[in-house]
Chain A
């Protein structure tokens, strides 16, 4: 039974099955915890990677968030999707970790710049390269703006959901998104390849 359950992707599991896995995880079942990790690891890792500005931090956040998800799996009640719940845990874990950082680290991070675009970048660069460069730019945004931009554009949540996940009013979320978008736009226009890509979009 467990074997069959483990084989299913997340989209095919119904709420009761997910709740059962969560309950067993909270009770300390190793196999249930493994299943939960197989389901959520990639999502958590992705969220953590956009929230962090370097690989080391991303792994720290991802690992802590995964452990937190396993230990608090019992509190998942099934009234929202499991990914929504996991995102919330990841955001909180990241906030907790970043708040512990020393001032020096924060200053260093504030000056973090993405790797410069290669000279004479391939004009026909694919969507993946555009996405990678955009991802690097998202990482340079201020953490509060980064959270909202991540939730809105990368995970596709609505403003209301993003606000709920961050624990802030909708107006604040909207404001942060606006500022984040403006900052991102400014950075996009400074990158030749992204500028060209956005130019194509405008002319469509």
Chain B
């Protein structure tokens, strides 16, 4: 008999290779069950949605090549520094006066009276300096910031762009009245407005901040904002309300104030912003009772096109605001109940209820409605979604029937191996 310690390397190599190739392999820690896998994929998709600015390593060359590039860059940098110092010593400083480096963001669109950057007068098209005080005197000014934000300073207002980086854009309102119109579909740094009494976090909306020495008021015409008081208390302010930061109270706007503000919006030509007012009563009812989604078209739903709604949905998906996404999908379905977009939306809606909001009963209704619609493109997804919903609800018998139906109907679907594995587990042949 050959001694085991002396066997040839090639034989060992072949043995190891064959073992790994022959048996099904889910990785060193075993495979995921289908629900965990689905959840992990959803998490990955959400993470990817939130990271549009990542520098991708795939654009780099191989590790060896990278090393050469790094070495080359380092050598170039050292040479540059050495020559720079020599040049400086020989020729001396080119200028003895240091100019402050300023960052600018956006520009002045129009000025009714006088606008000052600290003490300097500012004119139309002037770039707005970050960190300097902006002050109006005998008239307002309209400023436009590049990431979908319009900002109107009324007369005798003082504000400042506090900080700006890839993730945050902060504006401070020190005194007076400022209006902001923020496009809900905008991409870019998160926008917030600071006041002496708290912070306003904005997504997409039209609102006004009035800062006075004894109180700060936030008035909302469209959308919603989160107001964080300096004490840390957070309040959600909805459209048609005004919020007093001093005492933390919220009041509905009177019809007179609404009319006045409506006039102001018309004057600013800000009527065109889509209404992102959250959950109307009908929306809430839809979420709680999905059967009601075939209700007749409302005026509000009629105003916005499905394309625009889908864009909005995409934006909120990126932010992970699932309640809002659900509300918009419901609105989309209601706006054109028989359309293909509406029918297909039910599968997305079901997925969100299942994986994000864990409202399994509602998810089931959505999948069922799609399956009954006769639309074919997403039948496998909808049926498999239904099976997973039944699994989440712990209805084993129904889940088994659903999976059997799925495997029978969609033999070539990519979910079939997972479905079969789950079926086996349910039948007690094998545990997952």
Contacts and interface: CB of A to CB of B under 8 A. Distances in A.
Interface of A: 2-3, 6-9, 28, 30, 33-34, 37-38, 41-42, 45-46, 48-50, 52, 55, 58-59, 62-63, 66-68, 70-72, 75-76, 85, 88-89, 92-93, 95-96, 127-128, 130-131, 134-136, 138-139, 152-154, 156, 164, 166-169, 178, 181, 184-185, 188-189, 195, 197-199, 201-203
Given A30-B49, A156-B17, 12 more contacts: A7-B413, A7-B414, A37-B45, A55-B29, A58-B29, A63-B43, A67-B48, A68-B58, A85-B58, A169-B64, A178-B9, A188-B12
A37 B25 contact: no
B101 interface: no
A202 B414 contact: no
Nearest to B58: A72
27 contacts: A30-B49, A37-B41, A41-B37, A42-B26, A46-B25, A58-B28, A58-B29, A63-B47, A68-B57, A70-B45, A71-B51, A71-B52, A71-B54, A75-B56, A85-B58, A127-B23, A128-B23, A130-B19, A138-B28, A152-B17, A154-B25, A167-B62, A169-B64, A181-B9, A181-B12, A202-B4, A203-B2
A198 B377 CA distance: 51
A54 B1 CA distance: 39
Interface string B352-388: 0000000000000000000000000110110000000
Nearest to A130: B19
Contact of B44 (A63, A127, A181): A63
A128 B62 CA distance: 35
Contacts, number: 163
Contacts of A89: 57-58
Contacts of B59: 72, 75
A163 to B, nearest CB: 10
Contact of A30 (B2, B29, B317, B378): B317
B15 A3 contact: no
A34 B14 CA distance: 37
A136 B413 CA distance: 33
**Size class of the contact patch on chain B:** 35 or more
Contact of A42 (B9, B15, B31): B31
Nearest to A129: B23
Interface of B: 1-2, 4-5, 7, 9, 11-17, 19-23, 25-29, 31-32, 37, 40-41, 43-45, 47-49, 51-52, 54, 56-59, 62-66, 314, 317, 377-378, 380-381, 410, 412-414
Nearest to A75: B58
A28 B11 contact: no
A166 B48 contact: no
A25 B48 CA distance: 10
Contacts of B378: 3
A139 to B, nearest CB: 6
Contact of A198 (B12, B47, B54): B12
Contacts of A202: 2, 4, 7, 11
Given A156-B17, A201-B11, A201-B15, A72 B56 contact: yes
B16 A134 contact: yes
A45 to B, nearest CB: 5
Contacts of B37: 41
Contact of B20 (A6, A75, A153): A153
A9 B52 contact: no
Contacts of B47: 63, 67
B48 A33 contact: yes
B62 A46 contact: no
Contacts of A38: 41, 414
Contacts of B51: 67, 71
Nearest to B44: A66
Contacts of A154: 20, 25
